[in-house]
Amino acid sequence: MYLYIHEHVLHPYPLLETMSALHSSDLHRIFLTLDHDGDGHVDVWELSWLLHKVGVSTGLDELESTIGRTSLNLQQFIFFYESISTRESCSNDNNDDETDLIEAFKVFDQNNDGFITSSELQNVLASLGLLEETSSDCTRMISEFDMNSDGQLDFNEFKNMMLLTIS
């Protein structure tokens, strides 16, 4: 996975762009999780840790250059999230969207078997600091889009879920 750098805005590819919008309480919880030293700022190392968790590899120097500082306070972190989660309005190419969804699917499909289970969903949400859901909540979330009732999401079911969530 890689980063798109466009007009000095970091676009991690793909998970953060295809996730549904996070609420400010989610972002605050992620911020607190990332702020390992409790200083009220997320430094580039802590931000790099999050990006690595979602499959985006970038060097610390590149990340610092991209965000223009060595650390972000909560408001700057929220702005950073908004800048990377907002899809460019001129980017309507279906092939790019499909590629983004495939890459996002791979983040959740941790064992690369072509399916997302409730435990894989739970693991990814936990790694992002978003896990308020229990395993039964993750099972319910999966079953909502599990069209063939096999207890897991294949790519097409995941795609339907993401397209409904971001529209």
- The pLDDT, as a whole number, for residue 17 is 44
Domains and CATH numbers, the chain: 3-85 (1.10.238.10), 94-166 (1.10.238.10)
Instruction: Yes or no: say if 84 and 11 are a contact pair by the CB < 8 Å rule.
Output: yes
Structure tokens, 17: 């762009």
DSSP code of residue 117: -
- The pLDDT, as a whole number, for residue 134 is 63
Q: What is the mean pLDDT of residues 105-129?
A: 88
Instruction: Yes or no: say if 74 and 47 are a contact pair by the CB < 8 Å rule.
Output: no
Q: What is the mean pLDDT of residues 93-107?
A: 75
Q: What is the pTM of this model?
A: 0.51
Instruction: Yes or no: say if 162 and 154 are a contact pair by the CB < 8 Å rule.
Output: no
In single-letter form, the type of residue at position 48 comes to: S
Instruction: Yes or no: say if 1 and 15 are a contact pair by the CB < 8 Å rule.
Output: no
DSSP code of residue 68: T
Q: What are the pLDDT digits (tens) for 43-76?
A: 988 888 887 777 677 788 888 888 888 999 998 8
- The pLDDT, as a whole number, for residue 5 is 31
Structure tokens, 24: 């400010």
What's the pLDDT band for 23 if we cut at 50, 70, 90?
Answer: confident
Share of the chain above pLDDT 70, in %: 72
Instruction: Yes or no: say if 54 and 108 are a contact pair by the CB < 8 Å rule.
Output: no
